[in-house]
Amino acid sequence: MFLNRNDSEKGLYQDMTKKEAEERLRKAGLRVTPQRVAVLLALDGSNHPTAELLIRKVRKKYSNISASSIYHILDTFIENGVINRVYIPGDVMRFDAVLEKHHHLYNRENNRIEDYFDDKLHDMVRNYLKTKPIPDFELEDIKIKLTGKFKNKKR
């Protein structure tokens, strides 16, 4: 199932509150700081943003925060499972605050990335790989990137 920021199924894409951001950091065992909360809220309110976009958004509230501090916060979030990286070859690194299992739809024309939720697809690939394991490889996660064009140009 394709979801975007306007969808509310499963409670996804509801903007995170400050309290929810603080709780997410605590659950990850991280100290709650205003800067970490600001980065997490900026990330949650964006669709797979780049670090540069996050820096601009966070600096609207914390004008003196350095780019290196924001990069350090992003690295800390990734190391502690608060967010994920999204890598598209030929594009800059992007970040994803959605931790539920999902895949990505990538439009090469405009570098747009949308989340795609399909439990059956996920389970099908996982089950296939159980019957045909890859030698000397331990599967940790499944992330599929589907490349194409959205027929609706508004996307």
Regarding the domain delimited by 14-96, which CATH topology (the fold level of the hierarchy) does it fall under? Answer: Arc Repressor Mutant, subunit A (1.10.10)
What confidence tens digit (pLDDT) does each residue in 86-130 have?
Answer: 988 777 899 999 989 999 999 888 888 999 999 999 999 999 999
- Helix axis angle, 51-59 relative to 34-44, nearest 10°? 120
User: What pLDDT score does 90 carry?
Assistant: 77
User: What pLDDT score does 11 carry?
Assistant: 39
User: What pLDDT score does 15 carry?
Assistant: 76
Q: Kindly list the domain boundaries of the chain, sorted by start residue.
A: 14-96, 103-148
Residue 104 near residue 143 (C-beta atoms within 8 A): yes
User: What pLDDT score does 46 carry?
Assistant: 81
User: What pLDDT score does 25 carry?
Assistant: 97
Task: Flag residues of the chain having pLDDT under 70.
Answer: 1-14, 153-155
Residue 154, CA distances (Å) to 38, 124, 150 in order: 29, 31, 8
